[in-house]
């Protein structure tokens, strides 16, 4: 396994995307002071999971992002891709080439990627443990660190040797396991406390459970009794419903009977009204005939008066005509005949007047009788309407009781 390439973008002095290809053997990067040689080793440390900004020669982790220059603005993120050749299978992944990527944004968010897939920092460290790489390793010796390594204590050199031998990975796993065991002991203590508390509450809970079982049994009995009461109420309501239906049918029959009586009474009233109308028409005819007879009587009276005047005139002239009686006998006979005819007409008119007055009197009696019968029928209709309203109220009450019972 060897470092194949390193890609930097927005990391410290590398504002543009820069690709460094590493071939097997010794690769040297040379340049004057301040050209960014140390930034390359910082980029390798950073992408391998370094979290201490001082080891990257900065005050804060955001210092790794290109801050800008006089002719160019700052970058929004820093990104480093470290590509390792894994054709020999050193890294525990099924890829011949492993690309480890780390990104960091201005808002402080950071993310790791392994071959383009988002991963955790722990996943990156787990992959690199057996390779001799990782945070805190001296496989990467920064500027000024050589003297500190040569002059380090035996314990520090031991740590370096353990790191190179791959022992640090197991120590870290052991520390992690010890932390997990300590947390488990704490969980166990809390579980024991919970068990003790549960054991202390077991007696009251058992009594509560007994009461709950008793309550369930009583609730079942109550439900059974409630069901029986409901069935009995249902039977009673069914009987009341049947009685109400029978009563409703009876009231409906009575209502139909009363309706028939009302219709018959209305038909009779209509017949009486028609009869009254016909008799009124007859009475009008009689009135007209009475008026004609009265007019005839008036004409007869005027004729009589005229005849009387003529008679007086005739009597007055009788003396004068006695001399010419023979000459005027024919005229006298005609006058007598005319008088006889007038008398007969007067008698006939008087008879017709008496018959008309009698018929008018009879019609008045019939009209009063019809008015009396009409008042009687109207009272009967009013009584039938009241009975109908009572039956309607009784039917409505029966329906409401049925609706309430259901």
Instruction: Note the pLDDT of residue 321.
Output: 56
Instruction: Note the pLDDT of residue 103.
Output: 93
Report the alpha-carbon distance of residue 144 to residue 273 in Å, rounded: 137
DSSP string, 262-280: HHHHHHHHHHHHHHHHHHH
Does the structure show a pLDDT above 80 at 134? no
Q: Pseudo-torsion of CA 223, 224, 229, 233, nearest 10°?
A: 90
Beta-ladder partners of 334: none
Does the structure show a pLDDT above 70 at 147? no
The residue with greater pLDDT, 46 or 279, is 46
Instruction: Note the pLDDT of residue 102.
Output: 94
Mean local confidence (pLDDT), 53-73: 85
Does the structure show a pLDDT above 90 at 9? yes
Mean local confidence (pLDDT), 383-390: 79
Domains and CATH numbers, the chain: 2-146 (3.40.50.300), 241-405 (1.10.287)
Mean local confidence (pLDDT), 188-196: 88
Instruction: Note the pLDDT of residue 275.
Output: 76
Report the alpha-carbon distance of residue 355 to residue 262 in Å, rounded: 40
DSSP string, 88-107: T--SSSS-SEEEEEEEEETT
Residue pair 124/82 in contact by the 8 Å Cβ criterion? no
Mean pLDDT of the chain: 78
Percentage of residues of the chain with pLDDT beyond 90: 9
Report the alpha-carbon distance of residue 179 to residue 185 in Å, rounded: 10
Residue pair 134/128 in contact by the 8 Å Cβ criterion? yes
3-class DSSP state for residue 225? helix
The pLDDT confidence band at residue 307, using thresholds 50, 70 and 90, is low
Does the structure show a pLDDT above 60 at 299? yes
Instruction: Note the pLDDT of residue 138.
Output: 45
Instruction: Note the pLDDT of residue 149.
Output: 65
**Which of 83, 106, 81, 112 has its CA nearest to residue 18?**
81
How far, in whole angstroms, is CA 357 from its chain's centroid? 84
Residue pair 19/46 in contact by the 8 Å Cβ criterion? no
**CA-CA distances (angstroms) from residue 218 to 102, 206, 208, 247, 394?**
69, 18, 15, 42, 44
Digit-coded pLDDT (tens) for 327-341? 556 665 676 677 777
The pLDDT confidence band at residue 322, using thresholds 50, 70 and 90, is low
């Amino acid at each position: 396994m060897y470092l194949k390439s390193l890609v930097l973008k927005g990391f410290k002095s590398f504002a543009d995307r820069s690709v460094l290809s590493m071939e097997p053997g010794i690769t040297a990067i040379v340049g004057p002071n301040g050209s960014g040689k140390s930034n390359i080793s910082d980029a390798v440390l950073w992408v391998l999971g370094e979290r201490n900004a001082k080891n990257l020669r900065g005050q804060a982790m955001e210092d790794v992002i290109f801050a800008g220059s006089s002719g160019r603005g700052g970058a929004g993120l820093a990104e480093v891709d470290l590509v390792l050749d894994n054709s020999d299978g050193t890294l525990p992944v099924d890829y011949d080439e492993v690309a480890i990527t780390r990104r960091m944004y201005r808002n402080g968010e950071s993310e790791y990627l392994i071959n383009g897939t988002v991963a955790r920092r722990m996943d990156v460290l787990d992959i690199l443990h057996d390779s001799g790489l990782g945070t805190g390793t001296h496989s990467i010796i920064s500027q000024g660190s050589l003297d500190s390594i040569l002059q380090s204590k035996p314990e520090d050199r031991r740590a370096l040797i353990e790191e190179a031998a791959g022992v640090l990975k197991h120590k870290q796993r052991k520390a992690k396991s010890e932390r997990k065991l300590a947390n488990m002991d704490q969980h166990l203590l809390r579980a024991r406390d919970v068990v003790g508390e549960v054991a202390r509450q077991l007696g009251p809970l058992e009594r509560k459970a007994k009461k709950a079982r008793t309550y369930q049994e009583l609730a079942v009995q109550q439900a059974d009794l409630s069901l029986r009461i409901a069935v009995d109420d249902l039977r009673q309501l069914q009987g009341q419903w049947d009685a109400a239906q029978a009563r409703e049918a009876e009231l409906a029959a009575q209502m139909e009977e009363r309706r028939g009586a009302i219709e018959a009474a209305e038909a009779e009233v209509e017949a009486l009204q028609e009869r009254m109308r016909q008799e009124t028409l007859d009475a009008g005819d009689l009135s007209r005939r009475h008026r004609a007879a009265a007019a005839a009587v008036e004409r007869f009276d005027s004729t009589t008066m005229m005849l009387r005047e003529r008679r007086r005139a005739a009597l007055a002239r009788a003396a004068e005509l006695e001399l010419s009686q023979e000459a005027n006998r024919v005229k006298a006979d005609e006058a007598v005949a005319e008088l006889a005819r007038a008398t007969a007409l007067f008698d006939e008119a008087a008879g017709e007047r008496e018959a008309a007055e009698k018929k008018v009197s009879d019609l008045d009696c019939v009209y009063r009788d019809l008015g009396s019968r009409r008042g009687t029928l109207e009272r009967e209709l009013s009584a039938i309407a009241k009975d109908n309203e009572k039956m309607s109220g009784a039917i409505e009450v029966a329906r409401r009781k049925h609706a309430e019972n259901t």
